[in-house]
Amino acid sequence: MFVPFRTRIEEIIQVRHRALRPYGKDLPRFNILLVLILLYSILNTVALAASDQPRILALGDSLTAGYGLSQADSFPAQLTRKLQDTKVSATIVNAGVSGDTTSGALQRLDWLMDGPYDLAIVELGANDALRAVDPALTQKNLDQIVTKLKALGIPVLLAGMKAPRNLGPEYAHQFDQIFPDLAQKHSVHFYPFFLDGISAKPAFNQADGMHPNADGVAIIAERMVPFVIKALGKEPQ
């Protein structure tokens, strides 16, 4: 249970007053011990408070990493602030790597597991489509990623992606279908399209037309908040 610093300090002061007389000439050593106890108590309180915050892994590519943006404007940072607006505090680890494919993310997934996570947001596939990777391979990689996360007991929020339409209707259909199919197969939380609301809208994208600007990321984060809250099992305030 979280105990405020002031309450903890008052408790220790009361103990000090009760214990002063028996120590007599050993007061300096007692005061040193008191300081150590106080520091331990504060650190323990901070650790307990931090443990109450959900820890989220944001696994993705440049769209997660924040390509062309300051870290303060990246998706994990903006999502953190949007969650705070609903009184949900969370620690979001930015595991986005610009240019990453589903193959690359699968290869680095194991060493990302540096501790327990309460949720993994998986945003991958855009670079596979840009490279016209066989949708079967993309699906296989994502399937393994979700399987590994679930095996670790980590809930998954899978973000969908859409293929560029210049690759043809057959490729687009096969690629787009990967995400709802995997969400259904694994019974995981699903956000249908990561770029929903900003795709092909110049006002919300950088000059390359592919990466969202800070305003675009804000829209993405805002729209994903209820999905994240639901995946965490929290209630918005």
> Which position has the higher pLDDT, 49 or 108?
108
Task: Characterise 87 by phi-psi region: left (phi > 0), alpha (psi -120 to 50), beta (else).
Answer: left
pLDDT per position as a tens digit, 56-90: 999 999 999 999 999 999 999 999 999 999 999 99
Asked if residue 176 and residue 62 are part of one domain, the reply reads yes
Asked if residue 42 and residue 119 are part of one domain, the reply reads no
Instruction: Report which of 1, 79, 94 is spatially closest to residue 45, judged by C-alpha positions.
Output: 1
In a domain, 170, yes or no: yes
Cβ neighbours of residue 234 closer than 8 Å, sequence gap 6 or more: 54, 88
Task: Report the distance separating Cα 207 and Cα 215, nearest Å.
Answer: 13
Asked if residue 116 and residue 24 are part of one domain, the reply reads no
Mean pLDDT of 149-171: 97
Q: Which residues are catalytic?
A: 62, 208, 211
> What are the φ/ψ torsions at residue 176 (nearest 5 degrees)?
-60, -35
Residue 12 has pLDDT above 50, yes or no: no
CB 118 within 8 A of CB 55: yes
Asked if residue 117 and residue 181 are part of one domain, the reply reads yes
pLDDT per position as a tens digit, 143-152: 999 999 999 9
And the tokens for 68? Answer: 């062309």
In a domain, 86, yes or no: yes
Q: Using the structure block, give the residue that is written with the tokens 């709802």.
A: 180
Structural domain of 216 = 53-232
Q: Using the structure block, give the residue that is written with the tokens 């650790």.
A: 47
In a domain, 237, yes or no: no
Identify the DSSP state of 218: H
pLDDT at 52: 76
Instruction: Report which of 228, 198, 225 is spatially closest to residue 213, judged by C-alpha positions.
Output: 198
Asked if residue 91 and residue 11 are part of one domain, the reply reads no
pLDDT at 200: 94
Task: Report the distance separating Cα 190 and Cα 177, nearest Å.
Answer: 13
Residue 83 burial (CB count, 10 A) = 23
Q: Can you tell me whether residue 197 is helix, strand or coil? A: coil
In a domain, 154, yes or no: yes
Cβ neighbours of residue 17 closer than 8 Å, sequence gap 6 or more: none
Q: What is the mean pLDDT of the chain?
A: 86
Mean pLDDT of 195-200: 97
Asked if residue 176 and residue 81 are part of one domain, the reply reads yes
pLDDT per position as a tens digit, 98-137: 999 999 999 999 999 988 999 999 999 999 999 999 999 9
pLDDT at 24: 55
Asked if residue 84 and residue 140 are part of one domain, the reply reads yes
In a domain, 63, yes or no: yes
Q: What share of the chain in percent tops pLDDT 70?
A: 77
Asked if residue 22 and residue 90 are part of one domain, the reply reads no
